[in-house]
Every structure is written in C-alpha cells, then in structure tokens.
Amino acid sequence: MKRTVTRLADGRELIYFDRDDDADRGAVDERPLPPRPPASELRYDPLTEEWIAVAGHRQGRTFLPPADECPLCPSAPGRLTEIPSAAYDVVVFENRFPSFSDRPVDLAPPGGLSESRPGAGRCEVVCFTSDHGSSFSTLSPDQVGLVMEAWIDRTAELSALPGVEQVFCFENRGAEIGITLAHPHGQIYAYPYVTPRTTLTLRAAERHRERTGGNLFADVLAAEREAGVRVVAANEHWTAFVPAAARWPYEIHVYPHRRVPDLTGLEAAEREAFGPLYTEVLRRLDGLFGVVMPYVAAWHQAPVRAGRDLAYTHLELFSVRRAPGKLKYLAGSESAMGAFVNDVLPEEAARLLRNVVTS
C-alpha cells in the first residue's frame, strides 16, 4: 500500500491510499476556497451529563448535488472537486464542514447551569471508491481491505491527537438516513469526550466483569454463536448476528472472534476475512425487499484512554426500513424517552436475512 499526504487549497489534509506504489498524486487543488470555518462549541447538558456540539457553519454544507457536481468524485477538466487527482483508490480528507476541529472559536456564555468549551477534535471523510454509482456491498475484497487499512491508519493517528478521547468510523447510506452526498463514503469523528453510548456499554461491561469475571462482549458473542438462531453469517474470524434485544427492525452486529480494543489490533488474517463476510451481509440487506436498504454502519472502538481492558471492537449495522414501503421512525417513545419499540422479532429478522440469495 502507498500512502500519500497532501493539502487542499484551504489547508485541509488529504491522504491517498493506493494499491499501486507508482500512483502519481502530484495534482494540486486549484480551487479558490473560502477560509475554513471556526470550531464548533460544546455545551454541557447537566440533566443528562452529556456534551452537545453546536456547529452553525454546518447549515451551509453541500446537500445532495447532482452526480455531475459531486465533490467526492475525482477532479476533471472544468470540474474541480475535493480530490485533485483524476482517479483514486481510497481517499481520506478533513471535512470541509466539521462538527469538531482544531480551529479557534469565540465562546458565548451559555448561562444557566451549563458550561461551554471549544469543540476541539477532528472530522474526516473516507471515500471508499472513485466510482460514484458503486456501493460498499459491491467492493472487491482488495478494495475493502484498503478501506480497512485507511480506518486503521486514521484510528492510530487521530487517537494520538491532543484532547481526542474516542475515534469513531462510520458510514451513513441512503436518503432515508439523511445523507447529504450520495457518493460511496464514510466519515471518522475524533471526539474530545467519550460518547454516551460507549460510556453506557463500558459501565455495563465493568459490572459484568465484577459479577462473572468475564468480558461482556465476548460472552454475548459466545452465547449468540452457541444459540445460532440469530446468526446471519460467519467465517473463521468473524460472526454476524442479530442481537437478541435489537432496537432496529434489521440490525446486525459483526464481531471478530478475538477481542481487540480497536481496529489497530486486528491481525492480517482477520483484516482479510472481514471484507467477504461484511459485503455478504450488506448484499443480504439489499436483497431483503429488492430495494436499496438505507443503513448506518458504526465501528465501536475503545476510547483512547478509558476502558480499553473492557472494550471489544465490533461493527453495528442497522437499517430504518422495516418493510418495502415503510420506515422505522423514532417517534415519541424513542425520541423523547429513549425507549425503543421494535416492530420485527429479531429471530425472524435473522431468518429472513439468512434466506436471501446473494449470488
């Protein structure tokens, strides 16, 4: 793999990941870009003990442009994009409209019992392929491997930044999810705090260890593999299953069989085995109703400093589609109370996904 670091016209970092060591990445970004926006502001909610990012500059971000104006496609004569080269394999660059960054910000006093601080951190975009009409499910094993190398590279580098507490790699896919760009891509957030979901699961894992002496995530995986009824797919190194208490109509968790705190701990064989299994799972989702399934794919990794002995890196994938013409909306119970009601029995979801013909 060849790794090439360059800069965009406004100073943001861009990194090419290439299979070909001879790839020429000398193209220069010639766009007249405006100055980068200030950082977001973090405000503390004393009722939930959570930090909320306020990033007003994101209101003006690019929203569902036509394919011939996609900013994630390679640059071409008369159409300059975020990627200066005329072709690429995998590209990572700093988000032009970040939720977190290292830019200065003027803090406005929030008043009340809240407090504020700069939204320090970093947000990056990961372009999985230069093919605008492609999707992750159709990537070759080699291409998935290159994406994984980019995830691992960025997890290591972002974890080393001052003030970063957690690195989150994810993909939003589909208009129903709320994407703003249709090109196959994901994002990486380097948070200046440990996220609420991770805090909850690590607390549960700590209590489980105190009761049983075991690792909660490893024990969940072992129980699902033994039961088998909710397993969707598996190979030597990975298992994909619908969790027993799934929140979403079609929710799949993908675990490596060996516990590692984050993606950097995966061995070569584990990295290689991930792509075929994961793309099979994605094709099963797309084949379920004969329509392209919207989804969120989220890598859960250990925080940079806290709970690394408890965490177990894994991917959680879920779709908001519950039937061919119906979506799962987060209405009163879910949005106001955080109390989920699932319309699909997890065992039935797993059965339906297993029965999808993928080849």
Confirm or reject CATH 3.20.20.70 for domain 197-354, answering yes or no.
no
Percentage of residues in the chain having pLDDT higher than 90: 93
Tell me if the pTM is above 0.85.
Answer: yes
184-216 pLDDT per residue, tens: 999 999 999 999 999 999 999 999 999 999 999
Query: What percentage of the chain reaches a pLDDT higher than 70?
Result: 100
User: Which residues sit in the known binding site?
Assistant: 70, 73, 132, 183
Residues within the annotated binding site for Zn(2+)?
70, 73, 132, 183
Residue 359 has pLDDT above 80, yes or no: no
Q: What is the pLDDT of residue 119?
A: 93
Where does the chain hold its CATH 3.30.428.10 domain(s)?
Answer: 2-193, 197-354
111 has a pLDDT exceeding 80: no
Give the model's pLDDT for residue 106. 84
Residues marked active site are found at: 185
What is the Cα 278 distance to its own chain's centre? 14
pLDDT digits 0-9 by tens, 54-95: 998 999 889 899 999 999 999 999 999 999 999 999 999 999
pLDDT at 129 over 90: yes
Place of tokens 């994938």: 317
Residue 109 pLDDT exceeds 80: no
The pLDDT value recorded for residue 68 is: 94
According to CATH, the topology of domain 2-193 is: HIT family, subunit A (3.30.428)
Q: What is the structure's pLDDT at 60?
A: 87
